Amino acid sequence: MAMEQKSIISERTRNELDKSTVDFYLSEAEKQLDGVIDVSNRITDRSYILLTGIITVLTGFGWILNMQDGNISLVLISVIGILASIVVLSILILKIICIHTVWLAGKKPSELDIDIFIDYYSSCKIKGDKRYVNIVADHLEAIENKIALNLEDIRIRTIWYSRCLKICLFTICIIVGILIAEHFTSVWALVHHWFALHCPV
């Protein structure tokens, strides 16, 4: 049975590799995959932290909206905060946490295609350490593919996480702007009132 030639390790290189050398390459590849998986998990952990913070803030905005006494600025701030929180919550849940696949090291026994590989190596009369070297070489190809898939997943999730942070920052800027505008309006009203009392025209 003819098998597709793997691109990472050529046939010539496979013939030159020994068991200890290929074990070293396997160890390095698995370390790289573990590192990539760790980065992916850290993105998920940070998303849960941000999710918890947003839920807390959302609760606070709801309380402000419920308790306000006709202050239009507080109503506006609460509505903006709630809408932004809902958007960020939706992105975190749909794009970062739920739609997330980690490509782990190793394979299930059913995915190893043991019969196919053994038949192939038997037909090629590859035995002993050389058979082990070729099996590991094929496994390195699978690890390379998993690393690429994980990195692409991380890239997409990082983009959406960055968008969440930008929405949060933009919302904070709007709220601060409203508070500053309200403050200056209040100060101006006090100054105008003082002048009206002490400096009548």
Least confident span in 16-20, 43-47, 70-74? 70-74
pLDDT at site 153: 87
pLDDT at site 5: 43
32-48 mean pLDDT: 87
Q: What is the pLDDT of residues 182-198, one digit of tens each?
A: 766 655 555 555 555 55
pLDDT at site 2: 39
Q: What is the pLDDT of residues 98-132, one digit of tens each?
A: 766 666 666 666 656 666 667 766 776 666 777 78
Any idea which residue has 């053994």 for tokens?
A: 118
Angle at 170 between CA 164 and CA 176, to 5 degrees: 135
Any idea which residue has 């941000």 for tokens?
A: 50
147-163 mean pLDDT: 88
What percent of the chain is modeled with pLDDT above 70?
70
Grade residue 74 by pLDDT with cuts at 50, 70 and 90.
confident
71-81 mean pLDDT: 78
* pLDDT greater than 70 at residue 171: yes
Grade residue 6 by pLDDT with cuts at 50, 70 and 90.
very low
pLDDT at site 70: 65
Q: Could you say which DSSP state residue 16 is in? A: H
pLDDT at site 79: 83
SS3 state of residue 1: coil
Task: Confirm if 48 and 161 have CB atoms less than 8 A apart.
Answer: no
Q: What is the mean pLDDT of the chain?
A: 76
5-31 mean pLDDT: 77
Rounded alpha-carbon distances, angstroms, from residue 19 to 6, 7, 13, 22, 112: 18, 20, 13, 5, 20
